[in-house]
Structures are given as C-alpha cells and as structure tokens.
C-alpha cells in the first residue's frame, strides 16, 4: 500500500462543470492539493468523509463581501465560513483593516481586497488628478490590495476622475471595481450606463447589478432589462448580482446628515428626512435596520435596541434597508446571453459581515425551482468568480487544483462541510478553520507576510478576464 492520503471524500455527487463531471466520485487530497478524482479511489486516508447523498462542488468564491472596519468587521470571516464560502473579495477595504481583521479573526478563508478611493480618506478630494490616483493605487498595492474600488454610490468622484482610475488600474494590470455613480450620475440605471461609458473598453468589475434596478428611474423590471442590454453591449465588463432583499450601507451621519448618498436614498424612500433625526426615527420604526454583533455574528436589528447600538457607535455602524425588488434580482441571476453564457457572470452577496451570506440558501432555491441548473449554480458561485480573480487553481476539482471544496445538503439548501487548501473550515454547524491567507500581487506580498498572514499571489494582468 502507498502512503495514506491526508483526506478522502467518498461517494459524493461531484458537480464540476470545468472538468465535465457530474456524478458520484471520490476525491483524494494530499496537503493543499487535489491528487485524484475517480469513481472509486482505493487506499487509506488520515481523515475520510462519507458524502453519500451530498453534492460536492468547488469551494464557493464570493466576489463581493465586506470584511473591514469600514463595513463588515471581523465577524464576517465566521459568517462566510458558516455559509460555505472558501474564497472572498472584500470590496472596499481599507486594506490595512482587512489585513488586521484577517490576522485576528481568520477562519481559513482566502481573501482578496480592493482598496477604496474615498475623498478625505485615501484621496484628498472628489476630483483627484492622475498623479493622485496613481499614488493611491501604488499605496494600495504595496499594502496587499489587488486594486481599487470606486464607491460611487456612496462617496462619488467626478466622472473624469472615475475614468482616470479605471484607466490607471488597466495600465498596471490591477483589479478595479466600481459601485456605479459619480457626481454627475447616481447609483441607478443611468449611473450604470455612465459607468459602462467611462470604462472606455478597459477591464472593469461593475458591482451588484441588481442595485441599479430598484425602480428609481424606470419600472424596476424595465431597468433590469436595460441592465442586461448594457452588459451585452460592453463585454469587457465583469459583473455580479445578489439575491437578498436588503442593501447594506454605512449609517454614519456627518454634520447632521447621512454621509452616504445611498443612506439618503433609503431614508427618503421610506418617507424620512435625510437628517440625523430622520435616521433615528427610521431605526426606531424598523425601516432602517442596524447591523448589530451578537455572539460572533451580525444580525439586523431595529427598534429601541437598534437605535441604542447606532447611538453608542456615534452613528458609525452599518445599516440596511429593504431596497431590492424581487423581479430584477431573479432575472439578473438566471438570464443568459445569445451564446449561452450567463449575462451576469457571478452570484455574490455583498455580504461577509453584512448578514446576507445566502449564495447557498437562495441560489439552491432557484435550482429547486428549475430556474438555475446545478451546473449553472456552480459556474456562477465558484468557477466564474475564480477565473475573474485570476485564480486558476480554484473554481474546479481537477487534479492539481487547490483543495477548496464545499459540500451541500441539496434538500435543506445549506452547506454541511467545507475545506480550503486542504484544511477544514466548516464541519456541520461548527466553524473549525483558523488563520487563512490574503490574495495579493507580488507588490504586496512582503507587507502581508509581515502582518503574519500567508499569501496567495496573483499576477497583474490575469484578472478581470472573460470567464469562458
């Protein structure tokens, strides 16, 4: 007999569209890599799982989460592990906070970060020049980020500065993501149209497409169709959408008014004035829900308890409104292009420390309804986001791939087991993973290691590619 495997996963239904597998197979793992996949693998292992009746898929890659002091916080690591996620992209930063929280609260996930461009935080003003943007990008990369995030819906820049940032990232082969909106267009379908134009053919991750289809300008259904048309006309743009009804924003009020543009929209939509008193009234009434930590996870809380938490933080805490109509959410996840590819590349959550880590629960509900095939679910929840992030050893279960695996109970629509790089993250309802790694570029590798984290290096120019 040969040397025992470190891990054998037996008799699960493997769903791996990248390698054309959909059937009962065993998977063998040594160290952090998959070393064999076959109908039956003979031999012993230090640990085995009988996965009869379970679905075994490549580890879930959530390409829009929040795991920083700005939004999400350290609880997000545990919340993502509970949701079956093995790899995630933090979509704001600041990168220093993402690194610090990963070192302190890591549960074994691989995490990447795009660092925000926010006036008076990472740049001086809403109209930074080219040199200012280049400096901000260099600084972000040096600290471990893979690129930049434009927070247009919350803290918009001028259209000219936004276009410069997208161009600058492209010139360095860095990642760039954009929550559509500038000082000349809002976070709505018109802002999405402007974002497509400002990209000027450069690679771009246009965040949470569903959030531009809330019925602010046209009927929400019509906005969904317009969004699909815009994506079809701009094939260089990568995208994701989420299925939860709640949004997630900062509840911070500055000089008596909400700091985020979207907080203003949420209050006004509920009939509340966009003031600190209006925010307090909205929380008291349960229209605005505070993201409140409770026993290691974050929950949405309104009323007197939510108001007390918001005030205790000096208003600087996350809040959520029920902002997302169901029709465009469902349409954007399931729509396909003329060539058969999905119109929106990935299914994400905008979750992490925001309590809506529902890729499995809501995504598999669509599988049960025959609105999404199981292969399609795996493409959108793992394969496509891995390829967009340039992670060639993730998103599939081929020999030599990273041992990132999520096991699902299809009937209960929940994850029951997960591994990342051969280490257990989730076992039943228990999060057992520790530590983790930061996905970075060669420029940031030294800084991340100095912070005590392992690294997974992705090369500039390999990200934001079309996920074939």
Helix spans in 127-260 (H): 130-142, 159-172, 189-199, 220-233
Computed over every residue of the chain, the mean pLDDT equals 96
Share of the chain above pLDDT 70, in %: 100
Q: Dihedral, CA atoms, 114, 298, 386, 226, nearest 10 degrees?
A: -80
Q: Give the model confidence (pLDDT) of 181-217 as tens digits.
A: 999 999 999 999 999 999 999 999 999 999 999 999 9
Quote the pLDDT of residue 468: 73
Q: Give the model confidence (pLDDT) of 402-418 as tens digits.
A: 999 999 999 999 999 99
Whole-number CA gyration radius for the chain: 21
Domains of the chain, by residue range, sit at 7-57+404-455, 59-245+324-388, 247-322
- How many CA within 13 A on the CB side of residue 278? 17
Considering only the top CATH level, what class is 7-57+404-455? mainly beta
Q: Which residue has the tokens 């200012």?
A: 132
Considering only the top CATH level, what class is 59-245+324-388? alpha beta
pTM: 0.94
């Amino acid at each position: 007999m040969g040397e025992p495997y470190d891990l054998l996963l037996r008799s699960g239904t493997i769903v791996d569209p990248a390698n054309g597998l959909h059937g009962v197979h065993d998977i063998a793992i040594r160290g952090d890599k998959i070393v064999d996949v076959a109908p039956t693998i003979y031999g012993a292992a230090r640990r085995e799982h009988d996965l009869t009746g379970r679905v075994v898929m490549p580890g879930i890659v959530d390409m829009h989460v929040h795991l920083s002091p700005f939004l999400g916080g350290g609880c997000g690591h545990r919340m993502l592990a509970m949701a079956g996620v093995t790899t995630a992209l933090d979509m704001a930063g600041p990168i220093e906070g993402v690194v610090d929280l990963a070192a302190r609260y890591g549960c074994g996930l691989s995490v990447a970060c795009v660092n925000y461009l926010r006036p008076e935080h990472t740049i001086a003003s809403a109209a930074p020049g080219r040199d200012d943007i280049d400096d901000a990008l260099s600084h972000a990369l040096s600290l471990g980020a893979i690129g930049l995030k434009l927070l247009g819906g919350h803290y918009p820049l001028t259209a000219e500065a936004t276009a410069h940032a997208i161009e600058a990232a492209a010139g360095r082969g860095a990642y760039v993501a954009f929550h559509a909106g500038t000082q000349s267009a809002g976070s709505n379908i018109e802002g999405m149209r402007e974002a497509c134009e400002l990209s000027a053919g450069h690679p771009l991750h246009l965040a949470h497409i569903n959030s531009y289809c809330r019925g602010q300008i046209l009927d929400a259904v019509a906005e969904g169709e317009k969004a699909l048309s815009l994506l079809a006309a701009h094939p260089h743009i990568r995208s994701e959408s989420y299925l939860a009804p709640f949004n997630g924003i900062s509840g911070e009020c500055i000089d008596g008014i909400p700091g985020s543009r979207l907080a203003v929209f949420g209050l006004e939509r509920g009939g509340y004035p966009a003031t600190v008193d209006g925010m307090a009234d909205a929380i008291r009434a349960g229209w605005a829900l505070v993201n409140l930590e409770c026993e290691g996870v974050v929950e949405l809380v309104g009323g007197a308890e939510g108001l007390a938490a918001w005030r205790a933080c000096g208003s600087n805490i996350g809040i959520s409104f029920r902002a997302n109509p169901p029709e465009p959410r469902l349409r954007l996840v399931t729509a396909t292009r003329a060539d058969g590819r999905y119109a929106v590349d990935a299914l994400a959550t905008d979750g992490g420390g925001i309590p809506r880590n529902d890729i499995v629960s809501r995504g598999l509900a669509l599988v049960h309804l025959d609105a999404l095939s199981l292969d399609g679910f795996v493409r959108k929840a793992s394969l496509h986001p891995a390829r967009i992030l340039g992670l060639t050893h993730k998103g599939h279960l081929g020999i030599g791939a990273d041992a990132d695996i999520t096991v699902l109970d299809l009937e209960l629509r929940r994850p029951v087991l997960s591994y990342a790089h051969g280490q257990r993250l989730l076992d039943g309802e228990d999060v057992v993973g520790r530590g983790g790694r930061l996905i970075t570029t060669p420029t940031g590798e030294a800084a991340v290691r100095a912070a005590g984290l392992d690294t997974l290096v992705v090369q500039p120019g390999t990200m934001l590619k079309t996920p074939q």
